[in-house]
Amino acid sequence: MIGLVLSVLLSLNGVEVQARDVPDDQGGAVELRVNFSRPLDISKILIYRVANGDTVSKKVAELDVNGQTKIKYIDKHVKNGVPVQYTLFLISQLGDTLGTVRTQMVEAKPSIFNKRKTFLLLAVLSYIALLIYFMSQARRGRELYLRPIAGLIEVDNAIGRATEMGRPILFSPGLSTISDVATIAALNILAYITRKVAAYETRIIVPVYDPIVYTIAQEVVKDAYTAAGRPDLYRAEDVFFLTSRQFAYAAGVSGIMVREKTAANFFMGYFFAESLILAETGASTGAIQIAGTDAVTQLPFFITACDYTLMGEELYAAGAYLAKDPRLTATIKGQDVMKATLATLLLLITLIAFIGPKLGLHINWETFKAYIVGL
Amino acid sequence: MFLSRTLPMILVFVMGIIGFSLYFIPHPAARQFENTLSQWSIAIGSFAIFLAITSLIRRYINNIKRGKDVFYSIVALVALFGMAGLGLFAGIDEKSLFQKIFINVNVPLDATMFSLLAFYVTSAAYRAFRARNVEATLLLVTAVVVILGISTIGDTQVWLRKTAEWIMNVPNLAQKRGILIGVGLGVIATSVKIILGIERNWMGG
């Protein structure tokens, strides 16, 4: 049974001890709770553990009481599936042993499902169901209104400007790895931009920071040229691995922007402190710049130095928005509906927090928060 | 077609579902499996490094052949092969030439680039804080309060320190959380699209 509670309640002279397997964990841990129902002259508790079949017990902890009435201790060194028993020695201020309390056998077991994350699982599943609903609606031909995103509308203009000027376009997919969804979102945008670039016969330069992202970016660009019917325009050396050192990458990309005189710069993905170096250098060359990142700390820099910035979720929506595939754009609608739902819930919770106490409604917000986030 | 399209999509679907499930399973077997997956990605990454270095060398050799940025390309290739050779044949211990070059050349160069940020921040702040309209003026006033509040002036002017702290902890934190909620929803939506095979740009469109 998941999270089986093998607890025992022993009482000795006003001391209650409860031992149980820690629920919703990977096993190997037993929780001991000591409650004093009346004031006692106890300064320390020595805890000894003995495993089933062993004859020698092992000291696992020495806890200071310091007048506390409730003490909790988690023994994290228990073998799974092996019953153990604890003996607690209650030591007085003078160092005498006032008594001992022995628990019954308790067994640490790993859990198959973390019950504390139930709400989180249900919330995510509901959101996925909402996304699938909108996708099915879009497949049936239902028209979905999408709010305009200025940065995305300007993507085509930026490519057009570069084409008119006869200068290349620079695309940086950020400094994160492929396991970061922001990088995948950046590659989705790269695919769209490359198709446009191929149609306009413009050059695109893609310096990459991460080796795995490089191999994928190479494929994305190559396939986008093929999809646009211009595989002859694809230049393998324009999609290249630059370096995996942060500021060396910033220096390298800045150098490319200055030497190649790129007319449009796209910074999409996750960026760190180098964001401002890239954006300011690009701005100094007079290029039109569109950035998109979910790195909250870097957003102000991009907003200041770039012409357009995709903030947070707009980066994830961009690929779908640009592709104009109804099933993809339907997910943006789902995102917006979920955001509106969450905003309404937050407003309600805030109202309850303000008005609740006046109406006699007392909520333990710490427990509420732990339940919501699954801690 | 099967190897280039169908198989990757099946793998992404299966691994996506497993990856999602692992978050809710605390069992040691799940953790073990997660560690194995991490080790696989490291192994795949080492193949990618080989491809990445090849692309780097190819680019610089092409540059030299075309007579474009020849000097920079030679410097990059010499640095690449020189450091790799030193590391492979002379070792990378503390007293090695490799470490000396790294500490005395690479680290100061990194620090130089990082220090440029101070000037870029100043230039960006100048542009951002120009009071051209109501919003920009509000931004300017807020920035001045925060800058003064968290500086030494805030030690003597408590109201300024408290106002700056309030700005950072209430309106600033609220907008950060708003963006993060949107990011979370965007991440889930993108993941669902990839797992269900609707979004395929990651494998070339």
Q: Does B106 touch chain A (CB under 8 A)?
A: yes
Across the interface, whether the CB atoms of A215 and B51 are under 8 A apart is answered yes
Interface test with B, best of A294, A313, A341 (most B CBs within 10 A): A313
**DSSP assignment, residue B93?**
S
Residue A281 has pLDDT above 60, yes or no: yes
Which class in CATH covers the domain with range A144-324? alpha beta
Q: Which of B166, A354, B156, A234 minimizes the C-alpha distance to A363? A: A354
Residue-wise pLDDT tens digits, A129-166: 999 999 999 989 888 787 888 888 899 999 999 999 99
Q: Answer yes or no: are the C-beta atoms of A260 and A283 closer than 8 Å.
A: no
Report, as an integer, the average pLDDT of B176-202. 92
Chain A CB contacts of B109 below 8 Å = 247-248, 251
Residue A3 has pLDDT above 70, yes or no: no
Residue B171: burial class (beta carbons within 10 Å; 0-12, 13-18, 19+) = exposed
User: pLDDT tens, A229-238?
Assistant: 999 999 999 9
CA dist A194 and A200 (Å) reads 10
Residue % of chain A over a pLDDT of 90: 74
Q: Is the pLDDT of residue A10 over 50?
A: no
Q: Any idea where the domains of chain A sit in the sequence? A: 9-102, 115-131+328-373, 144-324
| Cα–Cα distance measured from residue A210 to residue B160, given in angstroms and rounded to the nearest whole number | 44
Give contacts of B132 with chain A, Cβ < 8 Å.
none
CA–CA distance, A275 with A283 (Å, rounded to integer): 12
Is A48 in contact with A59 (CB distance < 8 Å)?
yes
Residue B96, classed as helix, strand or coil, is coil
Residue-wise pLDDT for B81-137, tens only, equals 999 999 999 999 999 999 999 999 999 999 999 999 999 998 888 888 887 889 889
- pLDDT value at residue A375: 64
- In this prediction, residue A12 carries a pLDDT of 54
Q: Does domain A9-102 have CATH number 3.40.50.720?
A: no
pLDDT number for residue A368: 84
| Rounded Cα distance, A104 and A50, in Å | 11
Instruction: Tell me how far apart the alpha carbons of residues A194 and A319 are, in angstroms, rounded to a whole number.
Output: 12
What is residue B7's predicted lDDT score, i.e. its pLDDT?
92
Q: Cβ of A313 and B180 within 8 Å?
A: no
Residue B155 Cα distances to A192, A275, B147, angstroms: 52, 32, 12
pLDDT digits (tens, 9 = 90+) for A172-224: 999 999 989 999 999 999 999 999 999 999 999 999 999 999 999 999 999 99
Evaluate if residue A7 carries a pLDDT over 60: no
Q: Which residue of A has its CA nearest to B58?
A: A237
Confidence of residue A13 (pLDDT cuts 50, 70, 90): low
- Name beta bridge partners: A101: A88
Chain B residues near residue A318 by CB distance under 8 angstroms: none
Q: Which pLDDT score, from 0 to 100, does residue B33 have?
A: 95
pLDDT value for A326? 87
Fold match flag (A9-102 vs A144-324): no
B65 alpha-carbon distance from chain centroid:
33
Return the HEC string of chain A: CCCCCCCCEEEECCEEEEEEECCCCCCCCEEEEEEECCCCCEEEEEEEEEECCCCCCEEEEEEECCCCCEEEEEECCCCECCCEEEEEEEEECCCCEEEEEECCCECECCCCCCHHHHHHHHHHHHHHHHHHHHHHHHHCCCCCCCCCCHHHHHHHHHHHHHHHHCCCEEEECCCCCCCCHHHHHHHHHHHHHHHHHHHHCCCEEEEECCHHHHHHHHHHHHHHHHHCCCHHHCCHHHEEECCCCHHHHHHHHHHHHHHHCCCEEEEECCCCCCHHHHHHHHHHCCCEEEEEECCCCCHHHHHHHCCEEEECHHHHHHHHHHHCCHHHHHHHHHHHHHHHHHHHHHHHHHHHHHHHHHHCCCCCHHHHHHHHHCC
Q: How confident is the model at residue A6 (pLDDT cuts 50, 70, 90)?
A: very low
Is the confidence at residue A11, as pLDDT, over 70?
A: no
Tokens of A249: 């990458």
**How close does chain B come to A206, measured CA to CA in Å?**
12
Q: Which amino acid is at A225?
A: Y
Interface test with B, best of A183, A214, A221, A253 (most B CBs within 10 A): A214
A2 pLDDT more than 60: no
